[in-house]
Amino acid sequence: MGSRRQRLVAVHAFVIGLCISMSPLAGKAQSAPASWVCTDTEGNVASLARFLRGHGIDAQAQSMSVGISYGKFSYVLEPKCSDTGLDRLIVHTYFSASERWQGSTELIRFANMLNRKYNFGCFYVDKDGDLALHTNLTLINNVSWEEIKEFLE
């Protein structure tokens, strides 16, 4: 049966192996494809969600988009794919406004100032009165996890 130390090491290794195999992300990062392929089919939302989950992202597929949390922010990704030409991931992120600023003229002016100052998307005040950003990640047929990650960061 071996020494007490050998038994403890064996039990420890077994428990660690069991914990790793029970992890919801176990083995997914290694087996995830390097890039997501954008096709002109209705399965794009589901395939994008699977791709992101394979890279350790909690991705929730909805009818036309995928909701994710990455870093400090939550995003809504809408794949727009075409047989010809450029494909896009339309990206929305939302910044909750305090009650004082929610839907205010000052917040609208702030969004307009951001739009004049930065040229990478469109800031706006959403229907709930919060600040939002709409931007695009442009691609041709596929995009790697590294490219998505760098874009979100």
pLDDT in the model for residue 26: 40
pLDDT in the model for residue 25: 41
pLDDT in the model for residue 9: 37
Per-residue pLDDT of the chain (153 residues; tens, 9 = 90+): 455 544 433 433 333 343 333 334 443 444 678 889 888 666 899 999 999 999 999 999 998 999 999 988 999 999 998 888 789 999 999 999 999 999 999 999 999 999 999 988 999 999 999 999 999 999 988 899 999 999 998
Who contacts 23 (Cβ-Cβ below 8 Å, separation ≥6)?
none
Specify the pTM: 0.73
Please classify residue 87 by burial: count the beta carbons closer than 10 Å to its beta carbon, then call 0-12 exposed, 13-18 middle and 19+ buried: buried
User: 137: which strand partners?
Assistant: 89
Count of Cβ atoms closer than 10 Å to residue 53 Cβ: 19
pLDDT in the model for residue 124: 95
CA nearest to 136, candidates 81, 97, 96, 83: 81
pLDDT in the model for residue 120: 86
pLDDT in the model for residue 14: 36
